[in-house]
Chain A
């Protein structure tokens, strides 16, 4: 099973530490901020991670990273329209599931 997984290194140490800084500081500030900022912070981290790995990502992930993640900043700005925000996030969830399948031996793509 592990053989089918992509073993590409896509993140440099500096980039990983930068992401770590974002996650840790987000956790802290979230304690003082409204709950609806939680998704915003997670998506900001998602966006930074995906732009960091895009250059070295395999074809299996590239389309997902390019197509969907780029829409995230626009999604943030619609936070007040909870329904549209949830719809956008649901779509992202479907896309990430498809990306997971492409990386998995469960499907032909992943094998």
Chain B
């Protein structure tokens, strides 16, 4: 087991202030390749990734994304492709779809962190407005943005925790006792 991986997981934080320094194409490609290796329910791979670097498109996306505080030089939009669901007779409510978004998102954020870059996930945006701005194919459902860039010196602290937690608070061992 690699301590480096564990350290990477421990030290990744959401970054909400980024510089406008661009991200090298090679780094973006490494991140996308990492996402390809994220686990996927039934190995169906319904995720599609849209990379947005064009400044005007990013500006418009931010305007319909109240939860996007960063002005990131790169946005990766994780979409679910409905055509894959149709092909495999999966209902759009299948929970594996959301889990697939989660495994991809975390993989992207950890890969980004490993490359010395900053990231922040965003789900607070209007899906309908994003579909219009990106002219998405009808089968694509825009599920989550990952903002990627370089952390600004001035970056504020993240959100203060609702309460301090350790992994122990989140964990229960074995069967729950009978009442």
Contacts A18-B63, A73-B69 known; A25 to B158 CB distance under 8 Å?
no
Instruction: Tell me, yes or no, whether B86 is within 8 Å of chain A by CB.
Output: no
- Shortest CB–CB separation between residue B92 and chain A, in angstroms? 16
Instruction: Tell me, yes or no, whether A55 is within 8 Å of chain B by CB.
Output: no
Q: Specify the chain A residue showing the minimal Cβ separation from B64.
A: A25
Q: Is the CB of B66 within 8 A of A25?
A: yes
A73 CA to B64 CA in the complex, in Å? Answer: 18
Q: Is the CB of B63 within 8 A of A29?
A: no
A78 CA to B156 CA in the complex, in Å? Answer: 11
- Shortest CB–CB separation between residue B28 and chain A, in angstroms? 27
Segment touching A, from B2-10, B49-57, B138-146, B159-167: B159-167
Q: Is the CB of A22 within 8 A of B66?
A: yes
Contact among B63, B126, B161 for A28, CB-based, below 8 A: B126
Q: Is the CB of A25 within 8 A of B159?
A: no
With a cutoff of 8 Å between Cβ atoms, the chain B residues found around residue A77 in the complex are: 156-160
- Kindly list 5 other residue pairs between chains A and B, CB separation below 8 angstroms, not including A25-B126, A25-B129, A78-B160: A22-B64, A44-B69, A77-B156, A80-B160, A80-B162
Complex A-B: 5 CB contacts under 8 Å: A25-B65, A25-B126, A29-B67, A74-B156, A78-B160
Q: Which positions in A face B, CB cutoff 8 Å?
A: 18, 21-22, 24-26, 28-29, 33, 37, 41, 44-45, 73-74, 76-81
